Amino acid sequence: MNKKNKPWIFTANCTSVIGTVDVVTRFMAQSGNYIDEIHSFDDRESNRFFIRIEFQPNSASFNEAQFTAGFSPKAAEFDMQWQLTKPEHRPRVAILVSKYDHCLNDLLYRHRTGQLNIDIPVIISNHPDLEHLAQWHGIPYYHLPITKETKPQQEAEVMKLLKEYDTELLVLARYMQVLSAEMCNQLDGWAINIHHSLLPGFKGARPYHQAWEKGVKMVGATAHYVNNDLDEGPIIAQGIQSVGHAQYPEDLISKGQDIERVTLFNAVRHHIEKRVFINGSRTVVFSN
């Protein structure tokens, strides 16, 4: 089996019943597909079954339509929701950012070096500060200022650009604005946000300074899907690191930014590789 070929990805979920793994793996074998990687999970709380498979067709004449026609009747027996992703698929990912550049820089670098198999067709910001980064990478940059009075119009323009550039994922790479409930509803399930995770929780201005004044011993970051609950959407990835008494607010900020960029990268990678399933208010994440 040639491991250099990019795999097809099969994902599915349904009610937890006997035979779910068998119906998928048996069909893969009968249709001549070699499984490179397989993960499955039964959630006893939600009574849902989740599965992700990477596979290589043994036959050069593999046909997606034929696969669909053959598997659809079997999936229907389990009321299974499923998806097949082509090896050459590159998700179109838009980035929303304000003034902080660490997450944007990291995503652009990983995109440029092939660590993220994505296209970035557009970057949108409420400030002009990071336009030079977009220009250097040859990516269109839209500066859309926002005030309390112009928020509905600005968000409508953002959504218009996402549609115009045919994006399937939006990444909030430290976008320092609270999205409206209407926009959150439109982005539900296909927008990822990143923010600090400090315990106890510190909100508002200068959270790392507040944390330092309380003598925190841990700094971290959380990447999650956007929904109507501010910073409480289904969590995809988290990172954490210890800090000590000899570190000052600027040290906490530096450590926090490092964790934020790595955590966001992991969340985006897991999403585009179809490793994440939204399961109510939680997620199932099949790490590689």
Catalytic amino acids?
A: 231
* CA–CA dist 262, 108 (Å, integer): 13
Residue 246 vs residues 196, 199, 212, 230: alpha-carbon distances, Å: 21, 18, 10, 33
2 Cα distance to chain centroid: 29
37 SS3 class: strand
| Cβ density class 29-43: b for 16+ within 10 Å, e for less | eebebebeebbbbeb
H or E element, residue 10: strand 8-15
| Cβ density class 216-240: b for 16+ within 10 Å, e for less | beebbbbbbbbbeeeeebbbbbebe
Query: For residue 4, what are its two tokens?
Result: 């250099």
